[in-house]
Structure 1
Amino acid sequence: MNKAVGNAVLRNRVHRRLRAVMAAQLPGLPAGSLTVVRALPPSGSSSFEELTADVQAALSRVLR
């Protein structure tokens, strides 16, 4: 995780949130899929709901 996201506490919070978001999305992904999620600096100030919406939107674009 990039230090531009914030200090270590904030980076860990974003990491945990993104891991939880992706865990919920895994059943909808094709078997054997490899996914990389990169946290950009604005993710440090995003709520869980905003991160979820962003990940869902990105995955829907990729899976079209």
Structure 2
Amino acid sequence: MLSVAHRLRSSREFTEAVRCGCRAGTSTVAAHLHTVPGADVRVGFVVSRRVGDAVTRNRVRRRLAHLVRPHLSDLPAGARLVLRALEPAASASIGTLSRDVDFCLRRARSGVR
């Protein structure tokens, strides 16, 4: 689990990251990265009901949190990252999710949409 200091908590932070940030996506995950000067790195997860039932959604969220934790130090200062799980994430292996998260973070950091 990510510490409270590293989690996005308000809907305003989520909305700002999604609307103003660079987006990168794969078949399982979409990443939105927005930088706020002078702030700490924060990460949020969006896993809709289309992904599955509550147990499946929480499993996907926990997997994404586990995969993004090593990347926190690589993100720029003040980064606001929102990882949005897509339907295929429920049945994807941890290896596939790992590759997709790595790819999305590289693309979002480079500013390529």
Q: Under a length normalisation based on structure 1, what TM-score does the superposition of the two structures give? A: 0.92
Indicate the structure with greater strand content: 2
Q: Is 1:29 the counterpart of 2:75 in the alignment?
A: yes
The structure having more radius of gyration, on CA atoms, is 2
Paired position in structure 2 for 1:50? 96
Percent identity, aligned pairs only? 44
Q: Under a length normalisation based on structure 2, what TM-score does the superposition of the two structures give? A: 0.54
Q: Specify which structure has the bigger relative contact order, considering alpha-carbon pairs within 8 angstroms and separated by 6 or more residues.
A: 1
**How big is the alpha-carbon RMSD for the aligned residues of Structure 1 and Structure 2?**
0.9
The total of aligned residue pairs comes to 64
Paired position in structure 1 for 2:48? 2
Paired position in structure 2 for 1:63? 109
Deviation at 1:27, TM superposition (A): 1.2
Distance 1:61 1:51 in 2: 15
Extract structure 1 runs of 4+ deviating beyond 6 A: none
